[in-house]
């Protein structure tokens, strides 16, 4: 393996600028500040579930000796050995197929992709094998497997490393699709995913791995688990509903703080799950606020926001006092240049403007064009 300037290169020939050096010790789970990074949350969930069930094992590129491209699997190979933390060749189609076969046999694989952009190599196994086998076997074969890794845009990595796959996987029957935002989400949802009898696509965000969130004592409990398919109201409000997931939840919360200064009380919903989608919570919120803004990093056409809009039109159209506003990434491949990349991704100010339009606090976008 090559080394450049003291940093070990990943299997793909690059290393992320957002990684902590491998020699650094991560923050203790029991710190007095009661905070935990998303990376620590994922690591602790894997550790505890592998300790509790010997059928659970981790596989992927550099998850063992290198302790993960993003250090999520730090210390796991040393604890569980190379038979349960398996370094694989650079062949997503190969090791994903092995993982699905292991799940058929009754094991519980956790397959890590260095990025979900590379999971496109394994779509046949994820969709045609994992997602459909329970149905095609009349319920006789369960496929308890988790596909996890970073999803969506990072920073300056170009179009082939910056796609959000939430809508892709969310459209496929047989899969469950989870999108954690906070450390609580990451820990509780990953535990639920590993315990689930069905295939779960677990879409993390590279830029959130090192972000620390306050967590309650309940989250540190080894039995802590978040139900799949249940959204969380991160901030209650009465004037406009904002739905978002992954990194966009943080952007939506910042937007809500700005809106509050102008007298707009925004309710922010962290979806947590794309499939199943918590339509009940979303519709109940819109029936209270009478307005909706959807936020996502992915492409606008056939997106998660489009599905949410359809749900509201079907179930709560009569409660709307304004047109639904959709905030999404630009309908272009992700630019590499930093200034263009920022323009292609939703920003806090975009959410603020959309919420103000929904509340008739500004001119419609068409009027200002």
Catalytic annotation present for 257: no
269, β-bridge pairs: 233, 243
Q: Tokens for 1?
A: 């393996």
Q: What is the enclosing helix (H) or strand (E) of 348?
A: helix 348-358
Dihedral angle, C-alpha 77, 83, 86, 91, nearest 10 °: 170
How far from chain centre, in Å, is Cα 122?
Answer: 19
Nearest to 291 by CA among 233, 232, 355, 236: 355
User: Which residue in 49, 112, 161, 206 is the catalytic one?
Assistant: 161
Q: Look up 62 and say whether it is catalytic.
A: no
Tell me how far apart the alpha carbons of residues 50 and 148 are, in angstroms, rounded to a whole number. Answer: 15
What percent helix, strand, coil does the chain show, rounded to 5? Answer: 40, 15, 45
Catalytic residue among 61, 92, 184, 341: 92
Could you tell me if 334 and 341 are in contact, meaning their C-beta atoms sit under 8 angstroms apart?
yes
Cβ-proximal residues to 42 (8 Å cutoff; 6+ apart), any chain: 72, 186, 187, 190, 204, 209
Alpha-carbon distances, residue 245 vs 31, 36, 189, 269, 295 (angstroms): 27, 19, 13, 8, 8
The residues that are catalytic are 92, 161
């Amino acid at each position: 393996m090559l080394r450049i300037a003291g940093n070990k290169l990943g299997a793909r020939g690059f290393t992320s600028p957002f990684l902590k050096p491998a020699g650094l010790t991560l923050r203790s789970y029991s710190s007095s500040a009661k905070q935990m990074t998303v990376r620590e949350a994922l690591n602790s969930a894997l550790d505890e579930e592998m300790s509790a069930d010997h059928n659970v094992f981790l596989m992927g590129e550099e998850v063992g000796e290198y302790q993960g491209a993003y250090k999520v699997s730090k210390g796991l190979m040393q604890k569980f050995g190379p038979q349960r933390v398996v370094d694989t060749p650079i062949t997503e189609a190969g090791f994903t197929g092995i993982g699905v076969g292991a799940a058929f046999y009754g094991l519980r694989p956790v397959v890590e992709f260095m990025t979900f952009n590379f999971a496109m190599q394994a779509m046949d196994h994820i969709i045609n094998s994992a997602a459909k086998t329970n149905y095609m076997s009349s319920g006789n074969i369960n496929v308890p497997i988790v596909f996890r890794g970073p999803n969506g845009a990072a920073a300056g990595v170009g179009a082939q490393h910056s796609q959000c796959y939430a809508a892709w996987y969310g459209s496929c029957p047989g899969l469950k699709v989870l999108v954690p935002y906070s450390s609580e989400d990451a820990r509780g949802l990953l535990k639920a995913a590993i315990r689930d009898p069905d295939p779960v696509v677990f879409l993390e965000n590279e830029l959130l791995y090192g972000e620390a969130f306050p967590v309650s004592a309940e989250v540190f409990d080894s039995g802590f688990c978040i139900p799949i398919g249940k959204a969380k109201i991160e901030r209650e409000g009465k004037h406009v509903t904002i739905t978002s997931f992954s990194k966009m939840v943080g952007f939506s919360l910042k937007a809500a703080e700005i809106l509050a200064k102008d007298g707009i009380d925004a309710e922010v919903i962290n979806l947590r799950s794309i499939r199943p989608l918590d339509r009940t919570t979303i519709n109940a919120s819109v029936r209270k606020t009478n307005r909706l803004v959807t936020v996502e990093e992915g492409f606008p056409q056939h997106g998660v926001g489009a599905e949410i809009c359809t749900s509201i039109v079907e179930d709560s159209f009569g409660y709307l006092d304004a047109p639904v506003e959709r905030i999404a990434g630009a309908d272009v491949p992700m630019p590499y240049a930093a200034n263009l990349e920022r323009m292609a991704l939703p920003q806090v100010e975009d959410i603020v403007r959309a919420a103000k339009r929904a509340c008739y606090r500004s001119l419609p976008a068409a009027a200002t064009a």
